Structure 1
């Protein structure tokens, strides 16, 4: 079954006039396309690709921010049996060229001027397959003599009638290049069947009611397997999906769109969590007591609901008061209707999930990789266990292998790495299990617990093993720490590079009458460093002595995507950071 056909055909037949997607153009409000109109635009784009010479199994790249055009182009390529190759909008020209060359991409959709300019330079070179550039925005200045077309013009004369290309479950649908915290990016081959069977497993696992009435806001990059899989799943199930181009506008978009569902990375929740606690701490003693009381009531109610037990009338009345006084203010800022939020990409501490649960906002913690079509395990709607990654989805098998490595089998496991048979062989055991590279264990109820990335485990010179992600996660839950990288491998103690949360730090500086001209000056300030020493002492009191950060260096700016220090999904590229700041690190020892 063709993935695009599985999404479009049944929904057009069931509810042609119902809204399928939403989008916002510059200086205009949110607009929607019905399933009928959405289907017609996908068909026109698919036929335009055929007219441009794109054949079955040809590679079609998308190098753009989230948009309705992104999804339309993706489904159009899949409809005719082509293979979609997403490229992060933040990738530089060199990174984009590697993916275009490695995949053999023939045609590319770009979003803005920088992406067009980078693609044009690649097209001018003779050694690659790139033939045509399609541009989604008319604001981009193009050179038509170099086979460049605005999307609107490209599809203008195409037919709205389309015959979907017949595909088998094992046929490749997409190549998703791993953002690569280490090494060269590899093209993960995911098939039509990987997606369709993974979607069916999700619906069997969660048993959603009235899913067609849901509305999801896509603000994480569609290039990443998490947002793309989730958005396609929503469309597959007949729900609406709104696309947010600039994630910096998420706060405003939440209030405007009022989504019911949204997939999120842990950093989003950590920021909200830190903000809520900071607000409570800043209030009067009476307000602080009300907040603490509301959270306690919320936790009692959420625990009963988690166990599917009835909530006593008196407690329910208290919860209504807690909602009115505290929780609704937070929920309204998130649109007021959110109830289902898949969360992956890194671990989420139980403190965070318990507070959100107390407020009536369910974080569906999950675990998966690009190579597994995202989800392997997830929190069920009830009987989940905080501090875990939930239970395996139907059709997913998980075992714990050598060195506590999590290994998986199932319908979502990739076909392999494109053009890299040796790399593919390395990540599969002889009996066919995919090796995730993550260490983990099961609790007594069968929930998966991630202990760390095997490659990231550090051994101090004293022979002690440090799992950095767990410690980093605890420390970044605090509102004064934005990013942190632990150093311990072969060292006598743990040190860290810390990026302060400059927004919160600014308030601290005002309260303490500390004037400054730039952040370089502030990160060297003695009072500021003393403040962070105390903060670390407080945050690490539950850790073993050998796990505690003994020395640290405050960084004057965030680790950045453009400099290669973090991936587009905000994971720190540890090797890059350690190499780039080697001199700073050595000074701590």
Structure 2
């Protein structure tokens, strides 16, 4: 039951159909199923010749690429274990994962990653060889080989290693907002059952005709599970190597499906709202009418009701006048977009529904092979994380913690029996660390990370994520971290959307110096104070951000301030900006 078995099935079933798409210089290329399988099998044979045996660990330290997925499936076919490392990880983080997993070989995606790997290789007794993903002008040393040369002489004939349900397929090191990364052991059975649960849940029609764009890091369980599920179902998957080119790539590739995190949708939502607000009165009126019509249609579809012909006609006009222009910028064909990694505001999901793009909100963790719950196609409830999939069982434990059982739950943390035991109850329920509640229909609402829940000095409990989502839905705010634990009121560190703020700076005729100076100008602080007043009008008094500091630069993955899925690392930021935070509670200011 090796999860790579679909390679043989699909090569026979779809001999002329594209399996993967990728860019070579300026041109998009593709491999059909037989050629893709041959590439994977040649890589598997090359790995075997390089001394990689069943259950050995092979790491991938690279951005998304055709080589990434080829290496992954080759490792799995061989019966070995894939260890992905985020491409944004620094040398210290990469060294920890390579040493902890005892990886024997690593695929490096760029020069910086290669240099880190080589420094680690020189000191390691386990790491033996580095494969360079692309043939470029690398500064390359011994025990290193280009991927192309690595597989050149290998045979495409290969027998996939049979695996049992409980055999480990991958070690995914949690990026973690706190603590040392832990290697989550996910098995072939975890992935197999995850695929089955999704197909049973969504009942896709003609799934093999879909086209998915791998935009999120394949290192993350969300994109990796989705991509493998798509490939197993015969879907063509195109790999985006440079995420900064997402806007251009969408119009070139025109995918029908794509995973994304809430920030992606928030940016589109706030961008459209800004464009409307700056438009003429007639344009505002047309947009409001179109949104109303689209919302009526979406609501009927959500309730599995027929759309009356008259409303359907109005919706076609709304689409032509308004929505088609927005959707064209997203390629024009997207209809199914799984969303995870953090919570998303209901106004954002309603907005996309009105346009005819279904954001399938889901909830899960690395430890649960991603999805525990998701929106079905009908009868979902905005503002929730949907209902459970497959054989997943969920219940609420102490402190409102969500507990889970099912086929997707990890085998445990690699070489960490104490940490593994700590996240399971005595009767085998996995403790997610998230707080939540169910409604009568079984929809799960995530109230917050238990560790993130804050109690003010006045005894009020504040859940930061909904407040942070509300604020970052605004086009002038890129990132935000709410502070309240043990404090008399809520404050926040706010990272402006510098691109949009620049327009306001120009409109205010402020000469540009540096962002450090700009964010400290009273005019700019007044602008944000006004925005916060508008945004927070619906919040309870104790939840409102009373004081804030504008940051001169974005929180970065590279210096550990946010995770690769853009989640705030609160402990790091609280330590790093302790004096700045304390200044917001100065007696004179409070």
Which bracket does the TM-score occupy, shorter chain normalised?
over 0.9
Instruction: Give 1:41-60 correspondences, 5 Å limit.
Output: 41-60=39-58
Alignment match, 1:8: 7
Q: Deviations over 1:79-101 (max 9, x none)?
A: 01000000011111110000000
2:494 match: secondary structure: strand
For 2:15 and 2:282, the matched residues in 1 are separated by: 54
Structure 1 residue 248: Cα displacement? 0.5
Q: Do 1:408 and 1:434's aligned partners in 2 also have CA atoms closer than 8 Å?
A: yes
Q: Deviations over 1:272-302 (max 9, x none)?
A: 0000100100000010000001000000011
Deviation readout 1:552-584 (Å, 9 max, x if unpaired): 000001001111101111111111111111111
| Secondary structure class of the residue paired with 2:250 | helix
How far apart, CA to CA, are the structure 1 residues paired with 2:559 and 2:242?
20
Partner of 1:258: 254
TM-score (norm 2): 0.98
CA distance in 1, matches of 2:122, 2:579: 40
Q: Give the TM-score taking structure 1 as reference length.
A: 0.99
SS at match of 1:455: coil
CA distance in 2 between partners of 1:196 and 1:8 (Å): 14
Look up the match of 2:23: 24
The list of structure 1 runs, each at least 4 consecutive aligned residues, that deviate by more than 6 angstroms after superposition, is none
Match of 2:584 in 1: 588
Q: Check if 1:570 corresponds to 2:569.
A: no
Would you say 1:326 and 2:326 are equivalent positions? no
Match in the other structure for 1:72: 70
Gapped regions of structure 2 (runs ≥ 5) = 586-590
CA contact (8 A) 1:113 1:140 kept: no
- Map Cα deviations across residues 146-194 of structure 1 (whole Å, 9 max, x no partner): x100011111111110011110010000000000110000000000010
Q: In structure 1, what is the Cα distance between the partners aligned to 2:507 and 2:563?
A: 35
Decide whether the 8 Å contact of 1:142 with 1:148 is kept in 2.
Answer: no
Deviations 1:309-366 (A, max 9, x none): 1111111111111111100000000010000000001111110000100000100000
> What secondary structure is seen at the aligned counterpart in 1 of 2:451?
helix
Give the corresponding residue for 2:299: 303
Aligned residue in 1 for 2:283 = 287
1:45 Cα deviation from its structure 2 partner: 0.2
Deviations 1:499-551 (A, max 9, x none): 01111111111222122211011110101101111111111111111111110
CA contact 1:260–1:340 (8 Å) conserved in 2: yes
Change (3 A) 1:48 1:142: farther
Going from structure 1 to structure 2, the CA distance change for 1:219 and 1:140 (only over 3 Å counts) comes to farther
Q: Report what 2:84 is aligned to.
A: 86
2:196 aligns to what? 200
Aligned to 1:129: 126
Does the alignment pair 1:158 with 2:154? yes
Q: Per-residue deviation at 1:144?
A: 4.1
Superimposed CA distance per residue, residues 249-274 of structure 1 (whole angstroms, 9 cap, x where no aligned partner): 00011000000000010000000000
CA drift at 1:143: 3.3
Q: Distance in 2 between matches of 1:143 and 1:341?
A: 40
The alignment of Structure 1 onto Structure 2 pairs a total of residues equal to 585
What residue ranges of structure 1 are gaps of 5+ in the alignment?
none
Residue in 2 that maps onto 1:34: 32
Q: 1:485 aligns with which of 481, 485, 494?
A: 481
Matches within 5 A, 1:460-539: 460-539=456-535
Please say if residues 405 and 435 of structure 1, whose CA atoms lie closer than 8 Å, have aligned partners that are also in contact: yes
Distance 2:50 2:312 in 1: 62
Q: How much has 1:372 moved relative to structure 2? A: 0.3
Aligned equivalent of 1:148, options 127, 139, 144: 144
Distance 1:140 1:247 in 2: 22
> 2:17 and 2:140 mapped to 1: Cα distance?
39
**SS of residue matched to 1:540:** helix
1:456 is paired with a residue whose SS is coil
Q: Using the alignment, how far apart are the partners of 1:446 and 1:188 within structure 2? A: 28
Question: In structure 1, what is the equivalent of residue 135 of structure 2?
Answer: 138
Instruction: Tell me, in whole angstroms, the C-alpha distance in 2 between the residues paired with 1:235 and 1:65.
Output: 19
Q: For the Cα contact (< 8 Å) 1:55–1:82, is it kept in 2?
A: yes
SS class of match (1:524):
coil
Which of 203, 215, 218 pairs up with 1:219?
A: 215
RMSD: 0.8
CA distance in 2, matches of 1:515, 1:381: 51
Tell me, in whole angstroms, the C-alpha distance in 1 between the residues paired with 2:390 and 2:313: 38
In structure 2, the partner of 1:118 is: 116
Residue of structure 2 equivalent to 1:61: 59
The answer to whether the 8 Å contact 1:112/1:140 transfers is no
